[in-house]
Structure formats: structure tokens, C-alpha cells
Copies of this chain bind each other. A is one copy, B any other.
């Protein structure tokens, strides 16, 4: 089996598990509440469908990790749902915090139902994630379930830390490279490392193996995020689906930006003077490249990719699930090629 074949079997099972877990809210009197969840998950409302649902990469990684230890990935389905629900909880709250109108081409929950309802919808997704995780007890001993829950809780605290840093950076003018990892490490990387570690734990990995899987997920997340940062400034709009350079206009403290801020040259001067306008974007992205920010970010992306793949090799994932996980990592890391 290759990644495509695994995806074809696993993705419908992930969707079914997510639908079962969220069905807890489908009760008389709270159907509209349930609808806010199913809309956000991409199942109902205008524009519902695959694209609206997102790629479900995180739950897929959980299942592949378990399978790559030779264990039955179906026993990890509740955990796969739990990480996807955490991811979506954070998206619903992020959209409120960032004042974003659209997500995956559709109106965001707060834009449709207002901020108070969106906060509550995010909270509910978080609770559903907690409940999903405990459903592992059908397949695993209580001590293992607790370990998996504990890994996800620690990750969630990292997520709130990363979110705090991200928001507090908006008001700072003294940022530099050193501020990147604490923020990003608490976002994409934290959740991906939880996916690989929990998947391995549920596949009965030893502690050393779990640590290798965890590190693989962490550096995969970093490499992925740095690539996303590069694409957000120099990406091809047709490939990424979002306007390249929009990250500059939005004032995102991405890796290239933080690198250049630390140099305190021309870019630093312009950035600290206020928001970049659409007409400046071309000039400013060229300036960033001139100051070495693009080259630096590409270097870091390569390094983190290398580290991620070394940890994956160390984890020794088995069989076709193992090669499919490598395939998935390569797909994620080479998406600009």
C-alpha cells in the first residue's frame, strides 16, 4: 500500500469518527449549536465538501504512526479525532482573534453567527476533543489513555503559549530571530509532535521510539511552517491558493521578517514605521531577499527537513505504513516544488 491507498481507507474512517464524536451535540434544542460545528468541520452549509473540511493531515499522521509500528491503526481513531478537534478548536478561536472573515474559502463561524457563539463553538470543539480521547479506553488500558491525554493537554498549553506570543508580538518592535521558535514551536510543531508521539504510544512504541516519533513530528512542523512563511511572501499564488505577499500586508512575524528585523537595516526601518501597503509589496519582498532573509529561511527549512527525516529514520517505521509516512512528510515538505 502507498500513501494514496492508505488515505483512501483512512480518511473515510476519520470522517466517520469525527461525525460520531461531534454527534454528542445533536440533541433537541441544540441543533443549531451542532450545525455550527458541522459547518466549521466542512460537512454542512454553503460550500460544504472536501475543500471546506481541510486535508485531515494531523489525524492521518496519528494513524500512520500507529500502523508503522505494526499495530492496528483503527484502535487510534479516537485519538486521531481528538487531535483534529483540537486543531479545529484553535482555528475557530484564531479566526475571532485575527478578525478573519474567511477560512478555506467560506465565511468563518464568528462571521456567520457572531463572536459570542464562535467562542462557545470553539470551546465545545475543545471539550469534544477531550471526550474523544477518553474513548480510547475501548482499545487501550487506562494508563495508556491517560498518557495520550496528557501529551495532548501539554500540547494544548503550548498552543495557548504560542498564541499568546503571536498576539503579543503585534505590539513589539524589538523582535528578532530568537523570537521565532518559542512562538512557532507552540503552534504547528507542537500539534504535529503530539500526533506522531500519540500515534506511536498507541502502537506500543518504547519510550525511545516515542521520542524519535515526537522529534520527527516537531521538526516536520517547523520545516512545514518555515516553508509556509516563505510561500506567504514569495509563493506562487496559483499553488498556494492564497495571495503571495499577503503575509507582509498582514504584518505577520514570519521567519524571513524576524531575520531581517534582527539585522536592523532598511527592512527594519520600513517595517517598524507601520503597515505595508499592497503597492509596496513587490519592493519590500525584494528588499527582504536582498537582505538575505529568503536564503536564510530556505536554509532553515532544509535543515529542519533534514533533522525531521533523521528522526524518522531513527524511529524505524515499519512496512508500507512507514514508507507512506515518509511519503507524506516529503509531500508536505516539497509542496512548493
Question: Which residues of A are at the interface with B, using a C-beta cutoff of 8 A?
Answer: 24-25, 27, 29-30, 32-33, 93, 96-98, 115-117, 119-120, 122-124, 126-128, 130-131, 134, 137, 141-143, 145-146, 149-150, 153-154, 156-157, 160-161, 163-165, 167-168, 182
Contact = CB atoms under 8 A, between A and B. Distances in A.
A165 B30 contact: yes
B161 A30 contact: yes
A257 B134 CA distance: 40
Nearest to A117: B167
A286 to B, nearest CB: 32
Given A29-B165, A131-B154, A134-B150, 6 more contacts: A27-B161, A97-B115, A97-B120, A119-B119, A124-B164, A142-B146
B160 A124 contact: yes
Nearest to A145: B146
Contacts of A27: 161
A156 to B, nearest CB: 4
Number of copies: 2
A156 B25 CA distance: 12
Interface residues of chain A: helix, strand, loop or mixed (majority): helix
B157 A128 contact: yes
29 contacts: A24-B157, A25-B157, A25-B161, A29-B182, A30-B164, A32-B164, A33-B161, A93-B119, A93-B120, A96-B115, A96-B119, A97-B119, A117-B167, A120-B163, A123-B156, A124-B157, A127-B160, A130-B153, A130-B156, A131-B150, A131-B153, A131-B157, A134-B146, A134-B150, A137-B146, A142-B142, A145-B146, A146-B146, A149-B149
